[in-house]
Amino acid sequence: MFFVAQFLMYIVNNMQIEDFMKRNLKLVALALLFSVASCSFTTKSFDDSDKDKKLIDLISFVLERGHYEPKEINDDLSEAVYKDFLDQLDPYRSFFYEKDIEEFDAYKYKLDDAIKQKDLTFFDLAYTRLIQRIQEANELQSSILEKPFDFTKDESINLDYEKLKYVRTKRELRNRLRLDLKLDVLNLYYYTKEEQLSGLDESGDKEFLSDEEIEIKSRKEIAENKKDFYESIKDLKREDYFSVFLNTIVENFDPHTYYFAPVAKDRFDTQMSGQFQGIGARLQKKNGEIRVTDIISGGPAWRNDELKAGDVIQKVKQEDEEEPLNVVGMRLPDAIEFIKGPKGTKVTLTVKTKLDGSTKDITIERDIVELEEVYAKSSKVEKDGVNYGLINLPKFYFDMENYKEKNAATDVKKEIIRLKQEGIEGLVIDLRNNGGGSLKTVVDIAGLFIKEGPVVQVASNGDTPEVLEDRDPSIVWDGPLVILVNEISASASEILAAAVQDYGRGIIIGGKQTYGKGTVQNVVDLNKWVRNNQSGDLGALKVTTQKFYRVDGGSTQLEGVKSDVVVPDYFSYIDVGERDQKNPLAWDKIAPAKYEKWSGYVDFQNAIEKSNDRMSKSEHLKLIDDYAKWIKERREDKIYPLKYEGYKKRIDISKIYEKRFDALENYNSNLVYKSLPYERRLFKSDTILKEKRERWHKDLAKDVYVEEALNVLRDLNAGAIKNSKLAAIKN
C-alpha cells in the first residue's frame, strides 16, 4: 500500500516545464486570451463560493481554450477519469469493496456532465467512502498483526494488483490484507535470520533469537510501519484528495498537464529554481513528531551549527510573536509553512536534541537556501596524458523571479571557462536522468557550442512554428564534445542533444533513445484569473500549449533522440518513456530550419564507428545488458511464496544471479577525477560539499559510459591533429 507515497510523488513526477520566450507573438496572443478569459469569469457564473467548484470550472475552461490539443469533455473522457481516479484512491484493491464499485458505476459515464455542471456528487461519495474504508482497513490490519504468522503454510501472493478484482466480503478483504502483511513480515523475518546467521545482528545482541522471537520482532516492526502509514493518511485533507481528482481530469489531456495545489506549486518552484527561503533543513514526520532528517550544506541551519539531524522540533516561534506554536502532531506541510519564511527574518525552534534528549531553543535567521545537488558541477580528469572536462547538469534550472540571477546556462558557461583554464582538450556534458527545465536556458547553453543559428522550433496548434535561435556569434567551447544521455533524459535535455546532433557538433552516447517528451508547458497562476477571490489560494495549472521540433524538422515527441553510439543500460528493457505513458501527443514532422552543419571535425563518423565497435566488444556492457534483462524478468514475476522455505529459495536463486553481477560494482577505470581550484577552496569550510564531491568522483571512476565518452573525445582530438598536420603539409 503506497497511496501516500504515490500522492506525494505526484508533486515531483513529470515536472518538466519550458518557459515562454517573450518575443513569441503567438504566446502574447495566448496571454491576451487568458486575460480576456480572466475578465470573463467575473461576468459568467463564476461567483461560486465553493472553492472546489470554482477550480473545476476554471480548469476546464483553461483546458478548453489553452491546451495544445483540447479534448472534448464527453463520455469517453468520463470513463477514463472514473477509472483513473479509483485507481489512484485504491491502487492495490485493499480498501473498496465490489459493492462500492457497483454503486460508483452509476457515475462512470456522467462525469463529463458533472464537470460541466460543477457537480461534485461522485467525488464526495468516493472520498467519504474511502475515508470509511481506510479506517476499517486500519482496524483489520491491527487485529491481523496481533497474531503470529505461520511461515510453514504453503501459500503465495500475487502482486499484479491491476488484475485483482475488488473484494466482495470483509472476510475476503481480511485475507487480502493478511497476505500483504505476511509478505512484509516474512521479508523482515528472513533478513533478521540471515543477519543472525552471518553474525551481523545490528542490534549488537550476541544472543540468537528463536524463530518465534524473530517473528514477533518482525511483526512489531511492521505494525509500527503501518501505524506511521495510516498516520500519514490521516494527515491528508479533503483538498489533497480533490487535487488527485483534478489531476485525473487534466492528465487525460496529456501526461504533462498537471494541477498544482498551493503547497505543490511552492515545491515545484523550488525544484525549478534549485533554491528556497528558509532555514535549510529537511524534515519528516514520524510518530507525530517533526524530525530533522538532514541539514542542507551551506544553509542557515548549517551555518548556525546548532540544529542537528535527528533533533525533534516541538515549538516554532516567529520573531514578531510572543508565544511559540506547538507543532507536535501537526501535519508536516503545515509545520513547514511555519518554519520557513522570508530571507532576513528569524525563527526560534524549541527542539528535543537527539544527543541527550534535552530541550533547548535555537534561533536561526532565514536565508536563501540553494539545493546544490540541482546545480551544474564539473570535474577534470587526465587520461593518456590529456586533460578532459566533465559537466554534470541535473536540470535546466532557472530563478523564476530573476533569470539573470541564477540559471543553468550561466553556470555551465562559468564551468566551461574554469575547465578551459585547466587546459582541457575535450568536454563531456552529462545529461543522464535530466528531466528538462527552462527552454531559454537550453537555447543559451546550445549557443555556447555553435556560432549562430537555430536551436529549436516551437509550434502552437495551427500556427507557423517559431525558430528560437542563438544570436551570439561567440563560441565558449569549440573543442571536441560528447553528450551523455539515457532513457530518462527528457524535454530540454532532448533539445540540447538534438541540436548538437543535427549540427554535427558533438557525439551523443546513450540508450537507443531518450525519453521522448516533445511538448512545451506553461504554468498558469489560477489566482490571477479571478477577481475578488474569497476562496483562498487556488494553486496553478501546468498546461501543454506547444510542441517543439528539432532544427531538422523532426519531433522528439515519442521518438526522443536516437544516440550516435548506442549502449545498453539499466533502463533498456523497462517501460519508462513518453511512449509508455497514458495519453501522449502524437509524433509529427515539420519543415527544417535553415542551419549550417559544424565543419570543425575530421573523422567524425570514424569516431562514432570506433566507439560502436568498442562498445560491441565490451564484456562489461554485455553484463549490464544481461542485468537489465534480469531486472525486467524480476519485475514481471509477480508471484511471491509466503512459505519460508519457498521464499528463501526464491531469494537464494536471486543471490546466485546477483553474484554474477557483482562485477558491475567492482568495475573501475582507475581514472582520477578532481574538483577545480575554486571548489577545493570551498572544501576548507564545507566538509559536506567535499564528501559529496569525493563520492561523485568515486562513482565517475566506476562509470563505463564516462570512460567511453573520454575515448571518443580522444578519437575526435586525433582526427583534429591529423587534419592540422595535413593542412601544414599542403601549406
Calpha distance 725→722 (Å, rounded):
5
- DSSP secondary structure string for all residues of 654-699: HHHHHHHTHHHHH------EE--HHHHHHHTT-HHHHHHHHHHHHH
3-state DSSP assignment of residue 1 = coil
- DSSP letters for 276-303: EEE--EEEEEETTEEEEEEEPTTSHHHH
Helix (H, G, I), strand (E, B) or coil at 49: coil
Check if 237 is active-site: no
C-alpha triplet 489, 495, 497: angle, nearest 5°: 65
Place of cell 559529496: 692
**What burial letters (b/e) apply to 641-678, b meaning 16+ CB within 10 Å?**
bbbbebbbeeeeeeeeeeeeeeebeeeebebebebbee
Locate the DSSP E strands across 131-189.
156-158
Instruction: Please state, in angstroms and rounded to a whole number, the distance separating the CA atoms of residues 428 and 389.
Output: 6
491 is catalytic: yes
Which residue of the set 184, 502, 564, 715 is catalytic? 502
| 566, β-bridge pairs | 510
CA distance 620 to 631: 16
Q: Nine-digit cell at 424?
A: 582541457
Ramachandran angles phi, psi of 631, nearest 5°: -60, -40
Strands (E), 162-239: none
Of 387, 422, 374, 391, nearest to 676 by C-alpha is 422
Which entry of 380, 440, 517, 547 is annotated as an active-site residue? 517
Q: Which of 491, 493, 611, 675 is catalytic?
A: 491
As a whole number of angstroms, the distance between CA 289 and CA 299 comes to 23
What is the sign of the dihedral through the CA atoms of 703, 709, 711 and 714?
negative
What is the number of other CB atoms lying within 10 angstroms of the CB of residue 269? 17
Which residues are CB-neighbours of 594 under 8 A, at least 6 positions away? 454
48: which 3 cell numbers? 461560486
> What's the Cα-to-Cα distance from 615 to each of 22, 288, 612, rounded to whole Å?
44, 52, 5
Residue 266: C-alpha distances to residues 16, 140, 260, 286, 384 (Å): 15, 37, 9, 23, 48
Neighbours of 277 (CB within 10 A): 17
Query: At 158, is the secondary structure helix, strand, or coil?
Result: strand
Rounded distance, CA 243 to CA 264, Å?
10
∠ at Cα 214 (213, 216), nearest 5°?
Answer: 65
- The C-alpha atoms of residue 109 and residue 438 are separated, in whole angstroms, by 39
Q: Who's near 592: CB < 8 A, 6+ residues apart?
A: 551, 552, 553
**Alpha-carbon Rg of the chain, whole angstroms?**
28
Give the span between the Cα atoms of 123 and 127, in whole angstroms. Answer: 6
- Which amino acid would we find at residue 549? Y
502 is catalytic: yes
For 118, counting Cβ atoms within 10 Å of its Cβ (0-12 exposed, 13-18 middle, 19+ buried), the class is middle
Q: Which residues are marked as active site?
A: 491, 502, 517
